[in-house]
């Protein structure tokens, strides 16, 4: 993903960039941008030394974005399915428990644990530069 925007502020190695708001911004769930009246504000790594008021090109690596999306959305779904299958297989071994009930309990338990794991991963990944927007070029 690549956007052109204007630098609004710089604090150390991080610059706040405002990019024009697009219609797709309303459906976005990445959490990278913060919507405002004048556009979408995002914090980007300022390796090129851009100053306030300059037009810049901001890039979010597509592979990192897709990989992160797969972890955030795919892992919990996979955990739910695997948990349901495991619960269904364990059901006949417990004589007093309905296998469908055990399947639901194990499936939702695995789903909940995966959400906790995703939250921990997301808090660590937030600090990695490969998951953050980067200013790649000054256009002025």
Set out the domains of the chain in order of their start, with CATH numbers. Answer: 2-61+131-138 (2.40.50), 63-125 (no CATH)
> What is the pLDDT, as a whole number, of residue 118?
92
Question: Using CB atoms within 10 A of its CB, is residue 133 exposed (0-12), middle (13-18) or buried (19+)?
Answer: buried
Q: Tell me, what's the pLDDT at 56?
A: 92
Those residues of the chain that have pLDDT short of 50 are 23-27, 29
pLDDT for the residue 26: 47
Evaluate whether 50 touches 56 at the Cβ level (below 8 Å). yes
Q: Give the pLDDT of residue 108.
A: 96
Query: Number of H helices and number of E strands within the chain?
Result: 3, 6
Asked whether the whole model's pTM tops 0.85, one would answer: no
Query: How far from the centroid of its chain's Cα atoms is residue 88's Cα?
Result: 32
């Amino acid at each position: 993903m690549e956007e052109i925007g204007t630098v609004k502020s710089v604090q150390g190695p991080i610059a706040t960039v405002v990019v024009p708001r697009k219609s797709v911004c309303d459906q976005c769930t990445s959490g990278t941008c913060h919507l405002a009246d004048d556009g979408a504000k995002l914090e980007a790594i300022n390796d090129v030394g851009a100053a306030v008021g300059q037009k810049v090109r901001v890039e979010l690596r597509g592979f990192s974005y897709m990989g992160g999306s797969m972890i955030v959305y795919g892992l919990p779904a996979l955990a739910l399915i695997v948990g349901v299958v495991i619960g269904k297989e364990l059901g006949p071994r417990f004589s007093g428990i309905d296998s469908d009930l055990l399947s639901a309990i194990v499936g939702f338990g695995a789903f909940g644990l995966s959400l906790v794991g995703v939250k921990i991963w997301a808090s660590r990944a937030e600090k990695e530069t490969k998951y953050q927007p980067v200013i790649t070029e000054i256009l002025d």
